[in-house]
Amino acid sequence: MAGTFSSLHRNKTRKTENLDFGEISAGYFTRLSDNRVLEVYLGAGGGATERIERNAEKVTERTLDGSLSKIFAQVNYARKKRENLRLFGHEFPLTYGAAMRMSYMQLNNFRINGQAGARRKQRVFRAHHLHPHPNSGPRATAAHERPDVRLPQQQIPQSR
């Protein structure tokens, strides 16, 4: 088991940024031949973020906030060298390794000035259908091209 926590709080004249985030993981490790170690971890994390933007007169123009969620998988490989580093009369073992991490992170409950934030336009074609096209044969039709599929309208809150 392993865990981490990160916190960043910056308060400047024009902008305040707050970020608190933690993660926890469980894993397995084994020693391989020749002083090698293999580690595998799975984990999850979460946190909160807030950004306050102010104008030159230090009046708050916009507040953005939301929560964060994350899942990840990580593989580490390490090896101890046979020789040690001798420095200032002391011996230090040399170890080197590599780590690879795959992560998925998402911003949830995004709000601008306390209101639900603007949803970004979907860039993923969710409703694919193959149908004959008069000029080119079969082709994929995205949801925004189909008259029978209604997509939500983008809402952008007005600044105060």
Q: Which of 82, 99, 117 finishes a domain?
A: 117
For the sheet with 2-11, list strands across it: 2-11, 15-32, 36-54, 60-87, 90-112, 115-116
Domain that holds residue 148: 122-160
Q: How far apart are CA 44 and CA 17, in angstroms?
A: 23
Total of domains in the chain: 2
Digit-coded pLDDT (tens) for 45-73: 999 999 999 998 888 999 999 999 999 99
Can you tell me the distance from the alpha carbon of 71 to that of 103, in angstroms, rounded to the nearest whole number?
Answer: 6
Closest of 11, 9, 27, 29 to residue 19, by C-alpha: 9
Among residues 90, 94, 91, the alpha carbon closest in space to that of 82 is found at 94
Q: Are residues 26 and 86 in the same domain?
A: yes
Other CB atoms closer than 10 Å to residue 129's CB: what's the count? 13
Which DSSP string corresponds to 13-64?
SSEEEEEEEEEEEEEEEEEETTTEEEEEEEEEEEEEEEEEEE-TT--EEEEE
Tens of pLDDT, residues 98-136: 999 999 999 888 999 888 865 554 444 333 333 333 433
Model pLDDT, residue 58 = 87
Same domain membership, residue 110 and residue 140? no
Same structural domain, 112 and 37 = yes
Do 19 and 95 lie in one domain? The reply is: yes
Segment among 81-85, 128-132, 143-147 with least mean pLDDT: 128-132
User: Does one domain contain both 84 and 135?
Assistant: no
